[in-house]
Amino acid sequence: MAMAQGAKAMSWEKLKAKIVKLASFFTGWKKWALDVLLIVIVIAAVKTYQQRDAITGDAIPLNGQLIDQSQINWKAYEGKPLLLHFWATWCPVCKIEEDSIQSISKDYNVLTVSSWSDDTEDYLKKKGLNFKTLVDSDGVWATRYGIKGVPASFLIGPDGKIEFIEAGYSSEIGLRLRLWWIEL
């Protein structure tokens, strides 16, 4: 019996030594790299979850009247990349992105959809924003595109197919690079 207890104690000590050795392996840059990898995995999982119901394949052509009283001409976007951006006036993340969307709209086709917002026209005037905007107060277009929250961006290729979907914050450079890539 004493021999069995000695063997258990020895195997426990060996196990503890192996754990300490493994933990000491993840120090310095390796621990930092592991932390970064875990953060990237969590962010990717959250984005995948946010995009789970978003449509893929062919973009659904929008129709309706824009804030500037003109009608959406979906055919005008054919043959060129399009950023279709869903947002809301009450959304704090959308407010962070609005200057980027404004800037991108000077160089690329951008159509925005203000979902679940009633004060869109006043908001755009107050902020000095003039990107093309369709008001979707009741969220009909957001629902058709499978949007559960804003902001959400669909990057649509010249052939009308959805190439990229972004849920949540997207940087200006990230959106521009995707539009550039689609244009190639």
Q: Is the pLDDT of residue 78 over 60?
A: yes
What's at 156, amino acid-wise?
I
The rounded Cα 1 to chain-centroid distance in angstroms is 62
Judge whether 123 and 102 are in contact, CB under 8 Å: no
Give me the helices (H) in the chain, please.
2-25, 29-50, 92-104, 120-127, 140-144, 172-183
Answer yes or no: are the C-beta atoms of 182 and 158 closer than 8 Å: yes
Provide the pLDDT for residue 135. Answer: 96
pLDDT value at 125 more than 70: yes
Q: What is the pLDDT of residue 72?
A: 95
> How far is Cα 6 from Cα 8, in angstroms, rounded to an integer?
5
Q: What is the pLDDT of residue 10?
A: 62
Before 151, cis peptide (omega within 30)?
A: yes
Cβ contact 148:168 at 8 Å? no
Round to whole Å and give the CA distance between 53 and 116.
18
- Phi, psi dihedrals of residue 26, rounded to the nearest 5°: -95, 65
131 has a pLDDT exceeding 80: yes
What pLDDT shows up at residue 129? Answer: 97
Looking at residue 8, its pLDDT comes to 56
Here the contacts of 68-73 (C-beta below 8 Å, separation 24 or greater) are: 68/132, 72/111, 72/134
Q: Which residue has the tokens 């120090």?
A: 27
Angle formed at CA 170 by CA 164 and CA 172, multiple of 5 degrees = 100
**pTM for the full predicted model:** 0.78
Q: Please measure the distance between the N-terminal and C-terminal CA atoms of the chain and give it in whole angstroms.
A: 75
Per-residue confidence (pLDDT) for residue 22, from 0 to 100: 72
Residues 80-99 pLDDT 10s: 999 999 999 999 999 999 99
Average pLDDT in the 17-33 region? Answer: 75
What gap in Å lies between CA 86 and CA 147, rounded to an integer? 8
Residue 6: what pLDDT?
52
